[in-house]
A and B are shown apart, each in its own frame.
Chain A
Amino acid sequence: MKQFDYVRPATVAEAVAAAAQPGAVYLAAGTNLLDLMKGGVSRPDRLVDVTHLEGLDQIEHLADGSLRIGALVSNADLAHDAKFAKSYPAVAEALLSGASAQLRNAATVGGNLLQRTRCAYFYDTASSCNKREAGSGCDARDGENRTHAVLGWSESCIATNPSDFCVPLVALDAIVEIEGRNGRREIALDALHRLPGDTPERDSALEPGDLIVAVRLPAAARGFAAHARYLKVRERTSYAFAVVSAAAALQIENGKITEARLALGGVAAKPWRARAAEDVLKGVAPTADAFQEAAWRALSDAKPSGDNAFKIELARRIVVRALTLAAAGTPVRLPALPASPFASISGAIHV
């Protein structure tokens, strides 16, 4: 394979300086990057291995009631942290519905946020792909595209973001802490991933050298713990990316929804926060009609980008189901088949 430099910085500052060079990329667990390199999709000149940086693997419950998750915390460690799972059950459920146990043991929080699309044309280097090579065209647009985007896509790119983790995170107003050449800054997770527009080659708002050091969940995010679910339809029961997924989180008082959060996965180039649908739900009773209305609102701007019109109807149904499950209450124990429509089947073992 292509030869590259491998550097292992001792500090975050060293890492940022090393990664700011052209052709440099960060390496965490590499569960996505190494596959991309083996396939020739990504051909970096320099890997900046951040896995040995200190202090980035902590889960901290801060005094203001917020939670700070270090970028190097593994997906498995986070999902299985009892206090975390109790406070943010939909996030834990989303994490455990992703990939496989082996991958979750390795994959990091920061890496999950920055994983690339699973569009087959992005991975196939013989295909034209504006995301892989700016301006080369999009072979997905008229190709095999039944799983592509139905929201926020452009003629340049119809790829989706594959993360499960990001979907409840964006619903819960997660904040991303970034160390860059000009020091520390933070942005809303909702602003991290970009819609393609005319520049799909840029997945995120990050600048060269920018390193995600932590993800923060604000204190308010804990208020949804009693009514929070993640639901994911996929083409096999485990180890598959979402065809469509949804995170729903509610606060219910006296039979009325006082706060609602809703986000969709697998439908756009970013985790898709459905604020208009949230507005519909605020102040109403958690009824099937209200959930239907929210679902219509959530998908009101959706349009097929190819052979994928079904995803719009599927997304509506998933929204209704996710809200219904959330309203029914977070289960005491995380289901053995997390986020699965078959979560109710007893006798299954964790997958």
Chain B
Amino acid sequence: MRRTTRRLMRGLAVLSVLALGATACGGSDDDSSGQKPVSADDIQAALKKGGSVTVWAWEPTLKSVAADFQKKYPKVKINLVGERSGDKHYTALSNAISAKKGVPDVAQVEYFAMSQYALTKGLSDLTPFGADKLKSKYTPGPWNAVSEGKATYGLPMDSGPMALFYNKKVFDKYKIAVPTTWDEYVEAARKLHEADPKVFIAADAGDAGLTTSLLWQAGSRPYKVDGTKVSINFDDAGAKKYTATWQKLIDEKLVAPINGWTDDWYKGLGDGTIATLPSGAWMPANFETGVKNASGDWRAAPMPAWTKGDKASTENGGSALTVPALGKNKELAYAFVEYANSGDGVATRIKEGAFPATTAELQDNAFLNKEFPYFGGQKANEIFAESAANVASDWSYLPFQQYANSIFNDTVGKAYIGDTKLSAGLKSWQDASIKYGKEQGFTVD
């Protein structure tokens, strides 16, 4: 009796080792068969069968979306991993992709980083899943960011037309008008700081995203990308407009040297020492979760203009959900991406303060008339939608923007601590980016 059990166990062990080997082989087979069209029925079948989907995303509204999705498809388990953002997120993602291990099934990728991952074949083309048929649902800007030729590397989750968030309580207290141009912005910064030396117009310790967005709005087009041909040049009229203004803010110490998304930053936004925040329309959801104590203090306004009357706006951030090429359960992953960014998830996310990239919702009266209790009942979406319509065209990011952004503080950051001027900082950022581009095999000039 005993001997037979032992033999049985041994047999089982051998069998399970064989099974492991078989699944390992199965895993590698999946990669090559990625181009076959996947029908809606296949996806439905996968949803019925169930499984788990690991999602790397910091977008706060996805929590409710994941819960709803699991309610609708009880056999599917969504593991939302959301504590990382920014550099750390991309480092982890790039590591997982190059190690071919621990790659998530779904990953949030900001528009500026899309082409880098697409270029290195880190993301699945979602066209075989039918993603290209959803094109007409989205606004053109975000759709351009996720598609390249015939390939579609993700579904836009949100978009980031910029607005100027300002602490109305602070502005009212010192009877200062909300600036409509960047010159007025500098003026307001001086007045605020004079009235209370603890108050700064903004927190900025050097942020690549903000700088590129402001350059974009000022009419600068430093990056030109044509396949693997890239040119980088920060020496244009738009960039000069930006550096002239921002240099004043830095020189006169009118911006608080606080890095975004740190404890100090949240505290400053909450206690009125950071008076404005130029940011993307996805910001309200973060205000509501991160700066609860200042509810009712903040409002949104259109971005200040570089010349009076100019309506040109710009984008900041905005991201898509993508399906990494090495992820498992691609049908389920796609099903979740579609649910969150094109299906029922969109309504859930809007309810929690997200700013969609889908045209229908953007033009919907209910959306435009939505009152934000956090902004004292202001219909902030009207401002964001207006900004979205005025985003200046023809901007492009580098195909290695993620790397360029990682060395922003090494170069432009020096201007923030007085070691150099902004224009010189931009020049050394340009040089370092060109050097990297060449090393990576791009044709750069």
Asked if A pairs with B, the answer is: no
Give B residues with C-beta under 8 Å from A. none
